[in-house]
């Protein structure tokens, strides 16, 4: 009997199968994690799994910016001290957290929930561009000055998405800026150091495609 494909226990194999679906976790690491969990007190393991179930089942998204939130409107959107006329458009929840960590930004956000990528079959209707346009239209109708900051990655998908959003917003005559690139092209937001990212948001430039 070889254990490469034949685990000593069906339950162990199923747990390893499940754990190895996580990104960056191979079967060898998954086995190590499964055996680690097996050695923990039952209540710790139940707490581990229930906190993941709770997150997936009960998390809400801010109806304004689509950020993860415990309430209908997130703590940033409901913060009166923040500039509701400056909207920073990001791909993901993690990007919001990265920018918040710089402490340099006092506007609000819009989480696209993805990026336009024909290769991955993700089109404009799969991300929250429509909601962004409605937000901008509503602000313009109120007569407030609006700036949209495109804070997307510097790769092809990011540039494509920025350009698409820029065109969608053209009719409203709002200011559209993009992050200053102190970072190299192709750098991911999440791996940027806070100083560089903070500079990038302060030195954002008018978007000229």
Residues contributing to the site for a second copy (CB under 8 A): 1-4, 7-12, 14-15, 17-19, 21-24, 29, 31-38, 40, 42, 44-60, 67-70, 74-76, 79, 92-94, 96-97, 100-101, 103
Distance CA 65, CA 25 (A): 31
* Min separation Cβ 146 and a second copy, Å: 23
Is the CB of residue 147 less than 8 Å from the CB of residue 87? yes
Strands 147-150 and 83-90: parallel
Token duo for residue 151: 């804070």
* Min separation Cβ 173 and a second copy, Å: 31
Distance CA 198, CA 189 (A): 11
Residues in the chain: 209
* Min separation Cβ 139 and a second copy, Å: 22
Identity of the residue, 161 or 176, whose beta carbon is nearer to a second copy in the bound complex: 161
Token duo for residue 81: 């001290």
Identity of the residue, 142 or 194, whose beta carbon is nearer to a second copy in the bound complex: 194
Identity of the residue, 27 or 137, whose beta carbon is nearer to a second copy in the bound complex: 27
């Amino acid at each position: 009997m070889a254990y490469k494909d034949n685990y000593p226990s069906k339950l162990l194999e199923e747990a390893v199968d499940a754990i190895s679906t996580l990104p960056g976790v191979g079967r060898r690491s998954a086995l190590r994690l499964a055996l680690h969990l097996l050695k923990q007190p039952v209540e710790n393991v139940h707490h581990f799994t229930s906190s993941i179930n709770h997150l997936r089942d009960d998390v809400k998204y801010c109806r304004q910016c689509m950020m993860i939130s415990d309430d209908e409107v997130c703590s940033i959107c409901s913060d009166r001290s923040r500039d509701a006329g400056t909207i920073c458009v990001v791909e993901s929840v993690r990007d919001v957290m990265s920018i918040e960590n710089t402490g340099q930004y006092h506007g609000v956000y819009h989480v696209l929930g993805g990026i336009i990528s024909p290769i991955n079959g993700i089109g404009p209707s799969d991300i929250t561009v429509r909601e962004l346009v409605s937000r901008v239209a509503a602000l313009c109708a109120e007569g407030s000055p609006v700036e949209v900051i495109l804070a997307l990655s510097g790769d092809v998908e990011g540039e494509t998405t920025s350009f698409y959003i820029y065109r969608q917003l053209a009719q409203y005559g709002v200011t559209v800026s993009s992050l200053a690139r102190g970072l190299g092209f192709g750098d991911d937001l999440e791996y940027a150091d806070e100083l560089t990212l903070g500079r990038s948001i302060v030195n954002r430039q008018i978007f000229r495609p």
